[in-house]
A and B are shown apart, each in its own frame.
Chain A
Amino acid sequence: MQASEQPIRVLVAKPGLDGHDRGAKVVAAALRDAGMEVIYGGLHQTADRIVEMAIQEDVDAVGLSILSGAHMTLFPKVRALLSEAGGGHILLTGGGIIPQEDMDALAEQGVGRLFGPGTTLQQLVDYIRDEVSNRRAAARS
């Protein structure tokens, strides 16, 4: 079997203490409908829980929905812990209300593209698909 045929596994979770997880669930459903295996991690997740789940589930990507404004601490923290745990190959992406300059700063720290309110789910799907297939190819070579 070719690695490229294998379904993409994505962990979707919502860190932080704020309210509901409707946004994360919509994203999870969209990724499933795009043929991905989505591990839904639920609400109120801390960085170390997210990383533990990502490692155990051997995911290709982690998608976080962050609305609380904590993106500048959470994304770098998850990124660092993932790499520390041997998950340097795992794509970290997500969405929320994040200013462009913050997105740029996070990209500098190894965080993948982040999706603001103006973007479509299809853009996220395409991004994860492309990025994961690049990373898989890089790991094979």
Chain B
Amino acid sequence: MTAATEADAMVRPERDLVARVRAGESIACARMMTWAERGDARFAAVYGEFESELGRARRIGITGPPGAGKSTLVERLATHWRAQERTIGIVAVDPSSPFSGGALLGDRVRMSSLALDKGVFIRSMATRGVFGGLARATDDLADVLDLYDRDDILLETVGVGQSEVDVARSTDLTLVVLHPGGGDTIQAMKAGLMEVADVYVVNKADMPGLEQLVHQLTDTLDVRDVPLDERPPILTTVASSGEGVAELAERIDALDAERRASGKRDARRAANLRLRVRRIVEGRLQHDIWQESGLARTLDERVADGRTLSAYGLADEILNAYRERRNLEGPA
């Protein structure tokens, strides 16, 4: 390392972070997101300084099976709202490799037209690096973008597992993006994705199988017996050409306005907050049990000593040890 880079390395961008994020400094925003993502205690420590300023931004989830065109659609929607001078924050989540724990985060490639626009901030996140659950992390990252004064926050997740579904649920409004010929659509339905949709987007409307998918979707809603006036609208788009995107964006605008006016948005935010607090509490409790109390090691040792053990017996043992430790040391 040269002397110059060594000196630079000393001043990693962490001083006065809250004020600098508020003032629109992108490197400060990025660093605070890293804190949030990693569950760094410094994030929770500064949270109170800006908590009361949050809630201005509109939070929109974009989820759906792999390759449905979510990132392409995010780019188009962002472009649409940028033309109205709205500022945009994007969090794009991709799965980590279960083998190495690493991840290849490729959503940005589809958003390259936004790269030099200061009104757009894009952050990629892997599912596994996060501490305390994916939805815990995306909520926090969205808060940072809110503090960074973004008008619209778009959260892209692949709708495959429960944790992704949780993310889609922690927004003001969620789009479920499907595409014709995507065999994963059924899978998406099984994963509980259909229930989180406020709007269905059938993308790749230029591809064969469009009618079929729309029918399939309508059937699903029939089976679930969703009353007609509560059914999420089904819109079709060709994200790659932009066709149908303006209509989609306007529909989102209208839905959001309606929900603000009716109080539905606030009710949803209250429900989201309840879930969020539970997640935080559960995450901390987990950390306290396994790491702070050192019981992860106890468990490893007990299993490693080779005697036959009962799963429930061992679980009781761990919990008893935890209670004992905490009583001795007072509340966590």
| Chains A and B belong together in one complex | yes
**A contact set with B: CB distance below 8 Å:** 1, 6-7, 28-29, 31-42, 48-49, 52-53, 55-58, 83, 85-89, 108, 110, 131, 134-135, 138-139
Give the A-B contact count at a CB cut-off of 8 A: 111
B298 at the interface (CB under 8 A from A): no
Shortest beta-carbon distance from B154 to chain A in Å: 14
What residues on A are CB-neighbors of B100 within 8 Å? 32-35
- Bound CA span A70–B76, Å: 33
Contact A110 B102 (CB under 8 A): no
* Nearest CB on B from A21, distance (A): 9
A38 pairs with B115, CB closer than 8 A: no
Residues of chain A within 8 A (CB-CB) of B103 are 32, 37-38
- Given A29-B104, A42-B108, A138-B10, output 8 extra A-B contacts at Cβ < 8 Å: A32-B100, A38-B104, A40-B104, A49-B112, A53-B122, A56-B29, A83-B8, A110-B4
Give the residue of A6, A37, A87 whose beta carbon is less than 8 angstroms from that of B102.
A37
| A-B pairs, 9 with minimum CB distance | A88-B8, A32-B102, A42-B109, A58-B30, A89-B9, A86-B27, A40-B106, A35-B102, A139-B12
Are the C-beta atoms of A52 and B9 separated by less than 8 Å?
no
Complex-state Cα separation, A77 to B26, whole angstroms: 20
Q: Which residue of B lies closest to A86 (CB)?
A: B27
Give chain A residues whose Cβ lies under 8 Å from the Cβ of B102. Answer: 7, 31-38
Tell me whether chain B's interface is mostly helix, strand or loop, or mixed. Answer: mixed
Chain B interface (Cβ within 8 Å of chain A)? 1-2, 4-13, 26-27, 29-31, 33-34, 38-40, 96-97, 99-106, 108-109, 112, 115-116, 121-124, 126, 129, 131
> Inside 8 A of A35's CB, which chain B residues have their CB?
100-102
Q: Which residues of B contact A31 (CB under 8 A)?
A: 102
Contacts of B109 in A (CB 8 A): 40-42
Cα A56 to Cα B39 in complex, Å, equals 18
Q: How far is the CB of B323 from chain A (nearest CB, A)?
A: 25
| Closest Cβ neighbor of A33 among chain B residues | B100
B10 neighbours in A (Cβ, 8 Å):
138-139
Mind listing 12 A-B residue pairs with CB under 8 Å? A29-B104, A35-B100, A39-B108, A56-B121, A58-B30, A58-B31, A83-B5, A87-B27, A88-B5, A88-B8, A110-B5, A139-B12
Pair B108/A89 contact, Cβ less than 8 Å: no
Contact, CB under 8 Å: B104 / A138: no
Residues on the A chain within 8 Å of B38, using CB: 1, 6
Name B104's closest neighbour in chain A (CB-CB).
A32
Whole-angstrom distance between the Cβ of A37 and the nearest chain B Cβ: 5
Shortest Cβ distance from A131 into B: residue: B1
In the assembled complex, which residues on chain A have CB atoms less than 8 Å from the CB atom of B11? 88
The interface residues of chain A lying within 8 Å CB-to-CB of B5 are: 83, 88-89, 110
Known interface pairs A40-B105, A134-B1, A138-B6; A56-B123 also in contact (CB < 8 Å): yes
Question: Using Cβ atoms and an 8 Å threshold, which residues of chain A touch B124?
Answer: 39, 57
Flag if A138 contacts B9 (CB, 8 Å): yes
Give every chain B residue within 8 A of A39 (Cβ-Cβ).
105, 108, 124
Does B97 lie within 8 Å of A37, measured CB to CB?
Answer: no
Given contacts A40-B106, A55-B27, A134-B1, contact A139 B116 (CB under 8 A): no
**Closest A residue, CB atoms, query B97:** A32
Residue of chain A at shortest CB distance from B117: A52
Contact: A56 with B26, CB < 8 Å?
yes
By the criterion CB–CB under 8 Å, are B126 and A53 in contact?
no
CB-based nearest B residue for A79: B5
Q: CB-CB < 8 A to B34: which residues of A? A: 58
What is the chain B residue whose CB lies nearest that of A137?
B9
